[in-house]
Structure 1
Amino acid sequence: MRLTDLRAYLVAVPAAGLVFGLVARWFDRPALSDQIWTGATLVVLIALAIEIVTSLRRGEVGLDIVAFLSMSAALAVGETLAAVVVALMYAGGQNLEAFAERRARREMAALLGRAPRTAMRYGDGGLAEVALDAVAVGDRLLVRQGDVVPVDGTVSGGIAILDEAAITGEAVPVQRRDGQPVISGTLNVGGPFDMLAGRIARDSTFAGIIRMVESAQRSKAPMARLADRYALVFLAVSLVIAGAAWFFSGDPVRAVAVLVVATPCPLILAVPVAIVSGLSRAAARGILIKGGKALEALARVRVLVLDKTGTLTRGEARITSEVVFGGIAAAEVLRLAASADQVSKHVVARTLVAEAEARGLVLSVPTDARETPGEGVTARIDGRQVSVGGIGFVTGLTDGADADALRSLKKDNGVVVAVAVDGRLAGGLLMVDEVRTGAADLLRHLRASGIDRIVLATGDRRAVADAVVGDLPVDVIHADLAPDAKVAIVIAERAYGPVMMIGDGVNDAPALAAAEIGVAMGATGSSAASETADVVLLVDQLDRVAEAIAIAARSRSIALQSVGAGIGLSVVGMIVAAFGLITPVQGAVLQEVIDVAVILNALRALGAGRGEGPSPG
């Protein structure tokens, strides 16, 4: 039986014992009522003793010991009613803590519960439902309406309408057309569609997310370990006050009342609830934080190291300007170029084809196509000879007219694609990997929220890095970097404070591991970066970094508030009890009120704070 289930049953024993004991007192059977209350308390004491021994074997010492001492002391001095009330309050507090943690983990539990177990696969005998582990790369699968996409892949015929909220935090369904990627874990809210498996199940996005979530749930924050150390101090303080009350008054009941007020301490309740609430809040916003350690570190970062391609920029070139010659319309130049480039696997060729399709252009089938690797393609399109590629390649196949105008398009951070039709230059297309929308505002916001230093670290040429940065509030630019050089920069930047590194590529993984906090662009980045990083942005939006920091800072602040207020109130209550102003029973009720208050306060970390997006739902 799980501990949470045991807590639910355990609270019923002192509750029933309290009721039956009061009934016995009503019928003037004090001896019987004392026996009932003692028996109910002993059941809780036995369960508590087992839990204390288990914790001690793990090297953990907490305030469960205070609860054990207070109940034992109450029984020893004949305060059986106080003992059973403490037992009820303790068991109820543990049950409430378990409920609060379940409430805080709701988003994560929902994520894990979405994991598909089977897939509908096409075979020689038609469709068959197979275990997810049986799906191989290249298998053709059917995703029915209401199904969760089982593995990463691409749409193969038709249009997929997907709800990606559980993965990215985006509430609006998205469309994916033929050939476009789909990620595992998203929900098909449209009609059935076919897909081709691009990865096996264990390598797919959703499986990786589940592994990271499970790791996050198992982790224990340094703050929680700090709480355990504080618990030892509080235990000592409680015993000193209880001993002093007994010594100076000669009344052992006062010592019992002091111990009762200290049971259990909000220190061990508020911290885990607030931390898990913060993790859950972040998960609901498409930000996967791998445990309490990362959550706390996020709140302390002072230096930001940014990769460029795929992080500060989109990681894919887009046509930003065009020039045409000879009277051919710009759209026609793009259509002819994209039609010819359908035969190429070059990244620029794929981008041209995608751009043309996005603009709704109808591409023709190329004939007599020839590709010069790394240079360009020539093909016959609708009876016309089309050449597309680099400036040198295309102008070498023409009379060279208008070449200077074509070169004027060139920018340090862009690529010019030249297009010739029937031996004459027809135009040029400037393709640039643009800075993400809102990047400047994000960096300024991070600066205002406590980031003292922003560093760009990229493997691209210095001229490209300078052109991309422009007016962005970046303090230092490092270019032409190998992966080990990025690690060296991260280590050097530690002199300025805790470092957060944001990247997306395999080459960023070592630097992500070296930083106090590594943040991976998980929606578009490599699996190596996502596995190495402490934080994964499941939605391809850089502004979620600011949200992650805001959530972390708020969760940590709420935990500290709860701990400070709870301990302060407990100490006041113990002093009042030491002077004999409250009885052990009243002390038990008072402490339970304090515990409920700090747990409810810790649960505030589930809600949205300043700098965060709207709450889901």
Structure 2
Amino acid sequence: MTRPQDAAPPTALPGRFQIRIAVLAVACIAVHLVARYILADWLPTTTPAVWNAPLIVALGLGGLPLLWGLLRALARGAFGSDLLAGISIVTSVVLSEYLAGTLVVLMLSGGQALEAYAVRKASAVLAALAGRMPAVAHRKAGGAVADVALDGVAVGDALVVFPHEICPADGTVLEGHGSMNEAYLTGEPYEVSKTPGAAVLSGAVNGASALTVRVDHLPTDSRYAKIMRVMQDAEQKRPRLRRLGDQLGAVYTPVAVAVALAAWAVSGDPLRFLAVLVVATPCPLLIAIPVALIGAVSLAARRAIIIKDPAVLEKIGTCRVAIFDKTGTLTYGKPSLAELIVGDGFDRGDVLTLVASLERYSKHPLAGAVLDAAIAAKLKTLDASEVGEKPGQGLTGVIGGRRVRVTSRGMLPGTNPKVIAALPPEVGGMECVVLVDDRLAGTLRFRDQPRAEGEPFIRHLGRKHQFDRVLLVSGDRESEAKYLADQVGITEVFAGQTPEQKLEIVRRETAAANTVFMGDGINDAPALTAATVGIAFGQNSDVTAEAAGAVILDATLRKVDELLHISRRLRAIALQSAVGGMALSLVGMVAAAAGYLPPVAGAVFQEAIDVLAVLNALRMAFPPRSLTDY
């Protein structure tokens, strides 16, 4: 059987031509059997020459192109297990075993059609995604809604997604309250609530309420489109795992020829030589590994993991050092209010209410964290007046007759010395100071909180996935990096690192052992490229995604664990199919060498082995009950 088009050897024929040869071979075999076993009883003049004429046609039209390709490959010093097919065809013609030779032609040409079917089966989920994408979107402008082609949608457009429709682009909800089913993209079997400000994904199925969505990414740049490009990108690359078939074939081919020659020499019957080669041709390892690989890429895409370089699926299982960036990887990538130290004479709820009421008018990155804390505490914001944000003063305003100021510790010199004296000790991290009527009302401390799954994930890497070391390499201050490391259980910390320093650390570690680096910022791109496996989190940077071998669209560590398990499952299934197929072929070769399996029966036996190998490889496209173990 031949290999995928992207990995085709010099002997490979175009797929359509292979299908035509397979159809011709089937037709010729059918005519041969009819002429030999049915017409022979009605037409006494029917002779073996007439019976074999259709088989000779099949061997001429199908076998000669194969043999020509083999000769060209041999001239280049390149050949694989297809060489066994060529020898089998030539031997069958010399020995006048035309039926056996035609069956070999059928197996080789039919392999292309069988593999194409297997690839389509493995990527059935992606095909379903392509079929579900809407052709038009409902654009809202000036109070009117009009249908536009998907390629006419622009960033910033307001689109209406009606009940039970598929969202055509990534965006943000502007109007409406409802829910969306994102299971096709995330694999999570529940609907996600959508309110104004919530992000929506292309390909998600809307619930029972209409939503108005602002387009944040063109449909061609959406998550949906990225998933659809997975198969094309994967098929254009041939990682080392796929060459495992070549490595095994380099041993298998001479063994098969040696067994065939020995059978001929011992028995003196050249049919034994042909029978052995027919059983050994073609080797199932040539198709099982690529089919399993494509199934793994498809499965990863279903789990919101984009495999940009299929070699990742082989290499990640060999990595023994995990290197993490901090922000957005081990943390959520946004600050949250970690602590509110209240000044003398003030109430915590009152201070948080005043700050949140003022921060509603600010675009400062910490404003969202304050508002989230107020919402979590079920506090209602108040109206503010005279709001201003002058340089050197921070955010100021009047709320309920009280003048409120939110500023930093560094902006306090020149104010009341009692305020400065009452400040709590300075610690690492982000901080805001709140003054109410020039009195210290509180100090707010913010941190980029560790992911909830961080500590158990880090702890299980060594126990379940044989990682020897885990490193944290961050550009943040040492106090912030060490705080996070203590929270998740990492002991090797490199803080305050520039992109160049990160790159040097990754290169040094990779020289000693295979590494996997995880990051989400543009400054992580060099390190992602230098690591054995680079994994980008989220879609914050196109540069980072291009540098990585895999992209985790749902930025969670659980997806990294799923990738590790997909890789482990891929290697197991690929080796099962390839080595299992070879083992069964060797059993058949021994039977053929002993005279128990004639050439025609051997060809049928080998075809059954190929089908079993492909069916086993197809299991890779279907996930087990769980892809995580922590």
Q: Same fold (TM over 0.5)?
A: yes
Pairing partner for 1:584 from 599, 605, 615: 599
Greater displacement, 323-332 / 383-392: 323-332
Alignment size in residue pairs:
610
Partner residue in 2 for 1:85: 103
1:434 to 449, 459, 462: 449
Q: What is the percentage of aligned positions where both structures have the same residue?
A: 38
- The amino acid across from 1:591 in the alignment is Q
What residue number does 1:407 align with?
A: 424
Conserved? CA contact 1:217–1:291, under 8 Å: no
1:595 CA drift (Å): 1.6
* Residue from 111, 114, 129 that aligns with 1:96: 114
Q: Which residue identity does 1:21 align to in structure 2?
A: H
- Separation (CA, whole Å) in 2 of partners of 1:375 and 1:557: 63
Instruction: Give 1:595's aligned residue.
Output: 610
Kept in 1: contact 2:317–2:567 (CA 8 A):
yes
Q: Which residue of 2 aligns with 1:149?
A: 167
- Provide the C-alpha distance between the structure 1 equivalents of 2:449 and 2:242, rounded to a whole number of angstroms: 42
TM-score under structure 2 length normalisation: 0.87
2:31 pairs with one of 4, 8, 20: 20
Q: Which sits farther off after the overlay, 534-543 or 87-96?
A: 87-96
Secondary structure at the counterpart of residue 366 of structure 2: helix
CA distance in structure 2 between the aligned counterparts of 1:389 and 1:206, rounded to whole angstroms: 43
Deviation at 1:194, TM superposition (A): 1.3
Residue 116 of structure 1 and its aligned partner are, at CA, apart by 5.1
| 1:158 match | 176
In the aligned structure 2, how far is the partner of 1:397 from the partner of 1:343? 24
Counterpart of 1:488 in structure 2 is: 504
2:277 pairs with 1:256: no
Cα deviation for residue 457 of structure 1 reads 0.3
Alignment equivalent of 1:497, drawn from 497, 504, 513: 513
Residues 209-248 of structure 1 mapped to structure 2, 5 A cutoff: 209-248=227-266
| Separation of aligned partners in 1, 2:32 and 2:460 | 61
* CA shift for structure 1 position 607: 4.0
Spell out the pairing of 1:248-397 with structure 2 (5 A cutoff). Answer: 248-324=266-342, 330-357=348-375, 361-373=379-391, 376-391=394-409, 393=411
**Secondary structure of 1:321 counterpart:** strand
User: Could you tell me which residue of structure 1 aligns to residue 10 of structure 2?
Assistant: none
Q: What does 1:497-536 align with in structure 2 at a 5 Å threshold?
A: 497-522=513-538, 525-536=540-551
CA–CA distance in structure 2, aligned partners of residues 182 and 16 of structure 1: 54
CA-CA distance at 1:367 after TM superposition: 2.4
Q: Aligned letter for 1:13?
A: L
Q: How much does 1:545 deviate?
A: 1.3
Any idea what the Cα deviations from partners look like across 1:423-457, whole Å, max 9, x if unmatched? Answer: 44443433221111121111121111211111110
State the superposition RMSD in angstroms.
Answer: 3.3
Residues 375 and 211 of structure 1: is their aligned pair in 2 closer, same or farther, counting only changes over 3 Å? farther
Q: Deviations over 1:353-404 (max 9, x none)?
A: 3443465544445321111347631112354432223345579767846974
SS at match of 1:539: coil
Letter in 2 for 1:167: L
Give the match for residue 8 of structure 2: none
- Cα deviation, residue 197, structure 1: 2.4
2:32·2:54 contact (CA, 8 Å) conserved in 1? yes
Secondary structure at the residue paired with 1:429?
Answer: strand
Cα pair 1:149 1:186 within 8 Å, conserved: yes
> Is the 2:565–2:628 Cα contact (8 Å) retained in structure 1?
no
What TM-score does the superposition give when structure 1 sets the normalisation length?
A: 0.88
Q: How does 1:37-186 map to 2 (within 5 A)?
A: 37-45=55-63, 48=66, 61-115=79-133, 117-123=135-141, 126-186=144-204
Q: Following TM superposition, by how much is the alpha carbon of 1:567 offset from its aligned partner in structure 2, in angstroms?
A: 1.9
User: Is the aligned partner of 1:454 residue 2:470?
Assistant: yes
Alignment of 1:35 with 2:53, yes or no, is yes
CA distance in 2, matches of 1:375, 1:234: 78
Deviations 1:567-594 (A, max 9, x none): 2332342243234332001211221222
One-letter amino acid of the structure 1 residue matched with residue 580 of structure 2: A
SS in 1 for 2:327: helix
SS, match of residue 454 in structure 1: strand
5+ long unaligned stretches in structure 1: none
Which of 466, 471, 479 in structure 1 is aligned with 2:495? Answer: 479
**Contact 2:230/2:301 (CA < 8 Å) preserved in 1?**
no
Which segments of 5 or more consecutive residues in structure 2 lack a partner in the other structure? 6-12, 41-45
For 2:43, the equivalent position in structure 1 comes to none
